[in-house]
């Protein structure tokens, strides 16, 4: 298999805190990777580093074999990397339709001047329908449930036409029915459009049927990888979670 995304020896420090410590892992093309670890293990930090929000102190990020470590975030998005946030970040003063529309705005001045700024309304409508938000296009964030806000997060990521999506606690705070609906959506996107995902989730029941392989980190370090059933029975993983 071909490696789509690679994290190579990444270290990130915040003052005296080592958030990521020589961390390495990869995502293969056609794979859904689970990223596990206890609270504070560095999962969100590595997502931020992959997206370019936090430049690493050392190490590299590769996408499709290209070193993207020093590229700006918008360039990484344009290449095909998108993410959701653990705490949804909607634009509070606009409808969810316009919020998703903003995600399609080009960073290019030339495209803006030529009018090639956003996707057609039909494309945005289709994305919102795909994530289960039919009939709610004109609603504002404060009118939505947490489940719907997470759907908006996913819609905004999908609107960038990604090749891989980093999902940060996409199932957190959702009902069993909502989890099942999003799980089905992710499976469909993978099967029909070839999307890859990296999924961070503390909901192991939701994570288990979705992922092909799991990487576990603790204190910013790699500690284990393998199939889900193997990982949850790994002694190092049990110690990281339960002491």
Lowest mean pLDDT among 72-86, 99-113, 228-242: 99-113
Same domain, 213 and 154: no
Same domain, 126 and 179: no
Q: Which of 143, 161, 179 is the last residue of a domain?
A: 161
Same domain, 35 and 54: yes
Same domain, 36 and 102: no
E strands, the chain, in order: 3-14, 17-28, 32-36, 58-63, 66-67, 81-83, 164-168, 196-200, 213-218, 221-226
Q: Which of 115, 136, 161 is the last residue of a domain?
A: 161
Mean pLDDT value across residues 86-101: 92
45: domain CATH number is 3.40.50.300
Query: Would you call 65 exposed, middle or buried from its count of C-beta atoms within 10 A (0-12, 13-18, 19+)?
Result: exposed
Mean pLDDT value across residues 30-45: 94
Q: Which of 11, 103, 100 shows the shortest CA–CA distance to 60?
A: 11
Is residue 214 included in any domain, yes or no? yes
Residue 102 reports pLDDT greater than 90: no
Same domain, 185 and 71: yes
Query: What's residue 121's pLDDT?
Result: 85
Neighbours of 149 (CB within 10 A): 18
Q: Is the alpha carbon torsion for 106, 110, 111, 114 positive or negative?
A: positive
Mean pLDDT value across residues 217-233: 93
Query: What's residue 109's pLDDT?
Result: 44
Mean pLDDT value across residues 9-29: 96
**Cβ atoms of residues 148 and 141 within 8 Å:** no
How many domains does the structure of the chain reveal?
A: 2
Distance CA 102, CA 92 (A): 13
Residue 119 reports pLDDT greater than 60: no
| Domain ranges, residue 19 | 1-80+162-243
Q: Which of 113, 137, 161 is the last residue of a domain?
A: 161
**Cβ atoms of residues 24 and 8 within 8 Å:** yes
Same domain, 61 and 128: no
Same domain, 70 and 185: yes
Mean pLDDT value across residues 14-24: 95
Is residue 23 included in any domain, yes or no? yes
Q: How confident is the model at residue 178 (pLDDT cuts 50, 70, 90)?
A: confident
Same domain, 72 and 167: yes
Residue 64 reports pLDDT greater than 50: yes
């Amino acid at each position: 298999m071909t490696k789509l995304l690679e994290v190579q020896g990444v270290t990130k420090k915040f003052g005296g805190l080592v958030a990521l410590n020589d961390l390495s892992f990869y995502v293969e093309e056609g794979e859904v990777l689970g990223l596990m670890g206890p609270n504070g293990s560095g999962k969100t930090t590595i997502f931020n580093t992959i997206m370019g929000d936090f430049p690493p102190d050392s190490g590299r990020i590769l996408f499709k074999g290209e070193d993207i470590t020093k590229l700006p975030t918008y360039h990484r998005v344009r290449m095909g990397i998108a993410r959701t946030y653990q705490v949804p970040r909607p634009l509070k003063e606009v409808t969810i339709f316009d919020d998703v529309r903003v995600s399609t705005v080009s960073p290019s001045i030339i495209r803006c001047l030529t009018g090639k700024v956003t996707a057609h309304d039909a494309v945005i409508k289709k994305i919102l329908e795909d994530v289960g938000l039919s009939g709610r296009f004109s609603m504002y964030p404060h009118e939505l449930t947490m489940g719907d806000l997470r759907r908006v997060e996913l819609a905004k990521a999908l609107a960038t036409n990604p090749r891989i999506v980093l999902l940060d606690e996409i199932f957190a705070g959702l009902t069993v029915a909502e989890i099942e609906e999003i799980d089905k959506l992710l499976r469909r996107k993978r099967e029909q459009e070839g999307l890859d995902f990296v999924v961070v989730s503390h909901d192991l029941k939701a994570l288990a049927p979705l992922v092909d392989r799991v990487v576990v980190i603790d204190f910013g370090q790699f500690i284990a990888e393998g199939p889900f059933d193997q990982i949850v029975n790994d002694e190092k993983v049990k110690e990281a979670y339960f002491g």
